[in-house]
Amino acid sequence: MSSEPTIIPSSSVPAPNGGTPSLGGTSTPLLGSRGAPSAGGAGGSFGVKSGLAQMLKGGVIMDVMNAEQAKIAEEAGASAVMALERIPANIRRDGGVARMSDPGMIKEIMEAVSIPVMAKVRIGHFVEAQILQSIGVDYIDESEVLTMADDQHHIGKHAFKVPFVCGCKNLGEALRRISEGAAMIRTKGEAGTGDVVEAVKHQRAVMSDIRRAAAMSDEELYAFAKELSAPYHLLKETARLKRLPVVSFAAGGVATPADAAMMMQLGCDGVFVGSGIFLSGDPAKRARAIVQAVTHYNNPAILAEVSTDLGEAMVGISTSAEGEAIKGGRMAGRGN
């Protein structure tokens, strides 16, 4: 298998967000055992894996802790679920080392729903990833939400058939993860806080650097790649596309329909919502509202309607309270 990502030409499927080009449409997704699209079989090329992630565009991926929550998410219109024993707010609350979830619990969720199921591994923990691939999860999230297993190396993701999603705070980090084989990128935000400010900061940072790159000459791009510690060929492709060369979601602190729509207007292809749904007063209603908000992210009248009478939002933790440590620490700083 090649160690460099194959960038699929941005010719085919129009992106739902802002008419930005899509990389999808050239690979034929296979159907996994539960009917969800899968990169399985002997394939697993970067093109197949990043093409599969295209199918999640315009959708909401929800953290769920059991089969019942997974069904609520599926019925609300989630495009995928993230199976984990503790949502990020509970990881913060409990402290200690956070690891891959019990494969038995993940399998129960896989049996309960027909949408794709993602699960998390610790940064650098390639054996947790081998285990999750062997049970047939649809995507692996190499996540800063869990405790790091390796503070120097991320997983070499080209070696796996299953697609990976990774977090980023800026363009350099995003391109380094893609170069390691990530088929999908998300902002890190500050998971488990219910505060969207860090996700906004990370999304704006990525978009701002893409706009800068798009205006650069080749000579300037070589220097910019060095500054970002990012591979030149991926930066050049990003500049040409005027977007990341893989699907790019927002994550970390998204808790309301308005938060989700804001992230979409800032240029994301979809959103992850973790703690915000199942720590709210009415998870099913909030889940449906956030799905609607992502679909109609540019329509304030619909956003007003779906934001009405939602019950209590998660209480959350402000990440900007000066001088106060955030309970559980800053997760976004894990893995660069």
Residues with a known catalytic role? 120
Question: Which of 192, 283, 328, 335 contacts ligand 5RP by CB under 6 A?
Answer: 192
State yes or no: residue 148 binds ligand 5RP (CB under 6 A). no
State yes or no: residue 252 binds ligand 5RP (CB under 6 A). yes
Of the pair 22, 275, the CB lying nearest ligand 5RP is at 275
Taken in order 88, 245, 256, 319, the sign of the CA dihedral is: positive
- Binding part of the chain for ligand 5RP, among 21-29, 82-90, 130-138, 239-247 by CB under 6 A, reads 82-90
Comparing CA positions, the residue from 312, 295, 326, 323 lying closest to residue 58 is: 295
What minimum distance in Å lies between the beta carbon of 100 and ligand 5RP? 13
Question: Which of 5, 37, 253, 283 contacts ligand 5RP by CB under 6 A?
Answer: 253
State yes or no: residue 254 binds ligand 5RP (CB under 6 A). yes
Question: Which of 63, 128, 142, 180 contacts ligand 5RP by CB under 6 A?
Answer: 63
Residues constituting the chain: 336
What minimum distance in Å lies between the beta carbon of 227 and ligand 5RP? 27
What minimum distance in Å lies between the beta carbon of 30 and ligand 5RP? 23
Write out the binding residues for ligand 5RP, residues 115-144 only, by CB under 6 A: 141, 143
- Binding part of the chain for ligand 5RP, among 92-100, 108-116, 223-231, 274-282 by CB under 6 A, reads 274-282
**Could you tell me which residues are beta bridge partners of residue 37?**
31
Of the pair 89, 221, the CB lying nearest ligand 5RP is at 89
State yes or no: residue 83 binds ligand 5RP (CB under 6 A). no
Rounded to 10 deg, the angle between the 67-76 and 283-295 helix axes is: 40
Q: Which residues bind ligand 5RP (CB under 6 A)?
A: 63, 82, 87-89, 141, 143, 145, 186, 191-192, 251-254, 272-276
